[in-house]
Amino acid sequence: MRLLSRVLPLLVGLGLASCAGVDVDTNYDPAAVQRLNDFRTYAWLTHPQQTTDTRINNAIADAQVTGAVDRDLQARGYQKVDPSENPDFLIGWQGAINTRLSAETVDSYWGYPWDPFWGSYYGPSQTYVRQYDVGTLILDVVDAKEKKLVWRGTAQANLGDSPSAQANGDKVNKGVEKMLEKFPPKLEEKK
């Protein structure tokens, strides 16, 4: 029973971490919705080197992101062109990886999270602290003629405490797919 109470929190934490998906949010300029719906050609902006984090600023990460975006957009009829060919929109990406901590206090008798009512009855509690990385990917769509940001998508995912390149590549693909499902945006009807 003692072993179970020590292993259960770890198993629950790993199970929840593995089920964690990609959280996506988008924002756009409502005045640009009609123009966004008329866009057909695009070109890539130069990737900014805003951080020295080599997990983000490297050729592999750039190829993963641009490849995922190109596949999605081209499957929906958009055409990638050279920036000199006057594209309808420009697209760029940025990324960040932040380290976070999570702490969970577990009752040593049952292995459930600590409860102020029952916690002292079952004996001492233990707190487990876990460090993990969270990756954020931002896609920006800029109106090429007006040089104005008109749409932004953000995807965020838990990369775990020892992320692999394959798992991160899958999360990039999933994040891009979920973001671009909302591109171009539909003008919301007001009630």
Q: What is the DSSP string of 100-160?
A: EEEEEEEETTT-PBP-TTTTTTT--EEEEEEEEEEEEEEEEEEETTTTEEEEEEEEEEEEE
182 pLDDT band (50/70/90 cuts)?
very high
pLDDT confidence of residue 97: 85
Instruction: Please give the torsion angle defined by the CA atoms of residues 160, 165, 170 and 171, in that order, rounded to the nearest 10 degrees.
Output: 40
Q: Which sign does the torsion angle of CA 29, 80, 76, 49 carry? A: negative
- Tell me, yes or no, if the pTM score tops 0.75: no
Instruction: Report the alpha-carbon angle 91-76-167, nearest 5.
Output: 70
Rounded distance between C-alpha atoms, residue 61 and residue 9, angstroms: 33
Looking at per-residue pLDDT, the higher value among 174 and 12 belongs to 174
Lowest mean pLDDT: which of 12-21, 68-77, 99-108, 158-167? 12-21
User: Can you tell me the mean pLDDT for 129-157?
Assistant: 92
Helix, strand, or coil (residue 24): strand
Question: Each residue of 33-88: pLDDT tens digit?
Answer: 989 999 999 999 987 766 677 777 788 888 999 999 999 999 999 999 999 999 99
